[in-house]
Amino acid sequence: MIFQYQTVFFTRKYKMSIVLKIVSSVLNLFRVNGEINYVSLALVAGLLSLILVWFAIKKLTSKKGRNPFAQDTRRPPEPLETDLKARDKVLKNGFVAKKVPDNLDVIFIGSGIGSLSCAAMLAKAGKKVLVLEQHDQAGGCCHTFYEKGFEFDTGIHYVGEMVGNTVSKFLVDQLTDGQLQWSPLDPMYDEVVIGSSPEDAKSFPIMSSKEDYKNALLEKFPNEKKAIDKYFDMLQKCSRANVGQVLLKILPRMLCQFLISTGIIYWVTDYFKYSQRSLADVMEELTDNKDLRAILSYCFGDYGTPPKDASFALHATLVHHFMKGGYYPVGGASEIAMRFIPVIEKTGGSVLVRAPVKEILLDEEKGKVRGVRVAKSSGDVDIFAPLVVSGAGVYNTFEKLLPHPVEEKTSMLSSVRHGCGGISVYVGFNLSNDELEVVKGRNRWIFSNNELDQSFEEYRNMSVESVGEQDIPLLFLSFPSTKDPTWDDRFPGKSTCEVVSLASYDWFAKWKDGKVMHRGEDYEEIKQRIGKRMWEQVCRFHPNLKDKVEYFDVGSPLSNQYYIAASRGELYGADHNVDRFFPQSVFNLRADTSIKGLYLTGQDIFCCGFSGGLYGGVISACTILRRNLINDLLALRKQCKKQH
């Protein structure tokens, strides 16, 4: 045995000496009068790196699992299931040990869109998967809830690119067998309002096509054509370069580290030229007009990071995502999980709720995953599988679910910080959608002024005693009942409104260990104070709704912590600040881990939102199956185009 190891050692040592001789010989080729010509050397190094990347991609796809996109599985959509009991059988399938399928291939922790999309792809590749959800309903931020006869969505307010034959639409169609339908929002899907009241407010339209959006901006800012043109040019370039961050998530680790440490990654992709700049820095470079800066930055609430901290690349990707307008799932947000789950069940898999995973089980000797432990009052249940995929987020995974620190914990958690908490107001009316007197399918973003960073910073730093006594500087206003074409049939004579803003977790942290619905009068007073202030601001612009409220409730960061297991009440997982999108951080936030068989998925390994979580699922499935699934998807899409 000793001889064997010595042989390996000397063989490696010999190989290393050969490598060093080759490197020395190559350097001599670039010496001119004894000095190395570093420009020529850098050009050759860059070329060799590109060749290495090409070979790495080939190697990545050489060991292939089954192709989940081998055939087009779309079929005519079935009628919408509106019976709540029938829906509950799918969405609220409660955990008991006897429901766990035998011979599992993969266990998923969490049932957000990252887990559902990855699980559906693995199921289509022949894997038997089990998805475990700690809440009483599957879907994560895609779930809805019912109160007093009203239905409210919780995280899906609108989604981009769900039209025609876009890659994202085609992907969702394949993962739901064509059963998930989408309805377009109003052509002016967002309206940005700057001002605290209708008398002093200025309104700016956000339109559903690049041309209309651009023309609307030019109409409002005729002297800012140069800035607007440059902004749209940067959006296009950044969107095209987005593949750069994907490379650092799927290429072999050693190659990625080489590309980063040498700086060659900047030659391979332009993505990091944009990702390492803040949104505020780019805006200051483009224009001195504060209104225009605010309009071009308005949707930072969609990812929860103010312009001075937000990565421009993430912002550009989001804006480009909505260039074809906004779309809403027909039948409400819960239709997403409703249509993904049957695909998972086709190969014997299951999605079970009320199944809080308390620990990921490891084989310490072999350094690999064994399964998970589900906490139940009747006694913990251990479930075994060779692969475990955590969609619970990096903080929950590395701080709560693993029995002891692992190699990635430091690098993973040093790459991110907690995102900002969220607060939501849910309002129900005994009014039809027509009686609301609002534009159907349009969102409103209401800002108290055009100093977005300053206003948000002052708001976030308020004491818990004073918050809610002054206007909230950012409100997202949505009327979800007007977005769903099936609403009037499902809930005649009723309508809903939701108001969302950001909030500090620290305002509520002292009640984090309290029981939901029983946290006490002090907690309720703070929550209601903020919520009522938000609603009072909305009623300035919609005075006809002020006395029509039938149902009113407020969800705090602790609500997010309880219902979607957000570690500090975040709406969007880890913060989307500039540091998160540096090359090393992007590389650290990968699907694969040092523990054999343990993978990550969801928005923390890519970016937030429905599409961010969706493609987080794609990255995880690519890593697990060792296939370039995007190529597989594009090949199927091309084939379908020819056939039709």
What per-residue confidence (pLDDT) applies to 251?
92
What per-residue confidence (pLDDT) applies to 162?
97
- Catalogue the E-assigned strands of 278-420: 326-329, 350-352, 357-363, 368-374, 381-384, 387-390
Given the DSSP bridges, would you call strands 598-600 and 387-390 parallel, antiparallel or unpaired? parallel
CATH of the domain at 604: 3.50.50.60
In a domain, 306, yes or no: yes
Q: Find the mean pLDDT for residues 491-512.
A: 97
Which pLDDT band holds residue 644 (cuts at 50, 70, 90)?
A: confident
> Is residue 124 pLDDT above 70, yes or no?
yes
Check whether residue 453 and residue 549 sit in a common domain: yes
What per-residue confidence (pLDDT) applies to 53?
59
> Is residue 12 pLDDT above 70, yes or no?
no
Check whether residue 517 and residue 546 sit in a common domain: yes
What per-residue confidence (pLDDT) applies to 364?
85
Q: pLDDT, tens digit, for every residue of 314-358?
A: 999 999 999 999 999 999 999 999 999 999 999 999 999 999 999
In a domain, 237, yes or no: yes
Check whether residue 242 and residue 206 sit in a common domain: yes
C-alpha pair distances (Å), 312 with each of 91, 267, 316, 622: 37, 19, 6, 27
Check whether residue 131 and residue 34 sit in a common domain: no
Check whether residue 426 and residue 396 sit in a common domain: no
Check whether residue 490 and residue 541 sit in a common domain: yes
Cβ neighbours for 46, distance < 8 A, ≥ 6 positions apart: 264, 267
Nearest-angstrom CA–CA distance, 640 and 644: 6
% the chain with pLDDT above 70: 90
In a domain, 185, yes or no: no
Q: Measuring CA to CA, which residue among 456, 181, 166, 411 is closest to residue 298?
A: 456
Q: Name the residue with higher pLDDT: 433 or 404.
A: 433
Nearest-angstrom CA–CA distance, 106 and 375: 19
- Among the candidates 522, 545, 564, a domain finishes at 564
Check whether residue 221 and residue 370 sit in a common domain: no
Q: pLDDT, tens digit, for every residue of 51-89?
A: 555 555 555 545 578 999 999 999 999 999 999 999 999
Instruction: Give the tokens for residue 384.
Output: 């075994």
Determine the 3-state secondary structure of 613 from DSSP: helix
CATH of the domain at 220: 3.90.660.50
Q: pLDDT, tens digit, for every residue of 449-478?
A: 999 999 999 999 999 999 999 999 999 999
What per-residue confidence (pLDDT) applies to 10?
30
Q: Measuring CA to CA, which residue among 587, 585, 620 is closest to residue 601?
A: 620
DSSP state of 101: P
> Is residue 22 pLDDT above 90, yes or no?
no
Nearest-angstrom CA–CA distance, 644 and 639: 9
Q: pLDDT, tens digit, for every residue of 616-634?
A: 999 999 999 999 999 999 9
In a domain, 636, yes or no: yes
Check whether residue 165 and residue 285 sit in a common domain: no
What per-residue confidence (pLDDT) applies to 60?
53
Q: Find the mean pLDDT for residues 240-251.
A: 92
Nearest-angstrom CA–CA distance, 503 and 189: 25
In a domain, 527, yes or no: yes
Q: Name the residue with higher pLDDT: 19 or 515.
A: 515
DSSP string, 419-458: PPEEEEEEEEESS-TGGG-S-TT-EEEEESSS-HHHHHHH
Check whether residue 35 and residue 99 sit in a common domain: no
Given the DSSP bridges, would you call strands 443-447 and 159-160 parallel, antiparallel or unpaired? unpaired
Q: Find the mean pLDDT for residues 103-127.
A: 98
In a domain, 78, yes or no: no
Query: What does pLDDT average to over the chain?
Result: 91
In a domain, 264, yes or no: no
> Is residue 211 pLDDT above 90, yes or no?
yes
- Catalogue the E-assigned strands of 319-367: 326-329, 350-352, 357-363
Q: pLDDT, tens digit, for every residue of 299-316?
A: 999 999 999 999 999 999
What per-residue confidence (pLDDT) applies to 4?
31
Q: Find the mean pLDDT for residues 79-102.
A: 96
H/E segment holding residue 152: strand 150-153
- Among the candidates 548, 564, 580, a domain finishes at 564
DSSP state of 360: E
Q: Into how many domains does the chain fold?
A: 3
What per-residue confidence (pLDDT) applies to 5?
29
Nearest-angstrom CA–CA distance, 81 and 331: 9
Residue 222 burial (10 A CB sphere; 0-12, 13-18, 19+)? exposed
Instruction: Give the tokens for residue 515.
Output: 């029981």
Residue in the structure block whose two tokens are 């900002």: 420
> Is residue 14 pLDDT above 50, yes or no?
no
Cβ neighbours for 406, distance < 8 A, ≥ 6 positions apart: 398, 593, 594, 595
Check whether residue 100 and residue 167 sit in a common domain: yes
Q: Are 134 and 354 in contact (CB under 8 A)?
A: yes
Check whether residue 444 and residue 434 sit in a common domain: yes
What per-residue confidence (pLDDT) applies to 581?
96
In a domain, 570, yes or no: no
For CA atoms 126, 343, 318, 636, the dihedral sign is: positive
Residue in the structure block whose two tokens are 């409400």: 332
C-alpha pair distances (Å), 548 with each of 342, 493, 494, 551: 40, 13, 11, 9
CA 455 to chain centre: 26
Q: pLDDT, tens digit, for every residue of 172-202?
A: 999 999 999 999 999 999 999 999 999 999 9
Q: Are 470 and 449 in contact (CB under 8 A)?
A: no
Q: Are 357 and 341 in contact (CB under 8 A)?
A: no
Rounded-to-10 torsion of CA 253, 257, 259, 260: 140
Cβ neighbours for 34, distance < 8 A, ≥ 6 positions apart: none
Check whether residue 319 and residue 445 sit in a common domain: yes
Q: Is the pTM of this model over 0.75?
A: yes
Domain that holds residue 614: 88-180+331-406+593-641
Q: In terms of residues, how long is the chain?
A: 644
Residue 469 burial (10 A CB sphere; 0-12, 13-18, 19+)? exposed
> Is residue 20 pLDDT above 70, yes or no?
no
Cβ neighbours for 341, distance < 8 A, ≥ 6 positions apart: 90, 91, 116, 138, 351
Nearest-angstrom CA–CA distance, 439 and 457: 32
What per-residue confidence (pLDDT) applies to 3?
30
- Among the candidates 543, 564, 585, a domain finishes at 564
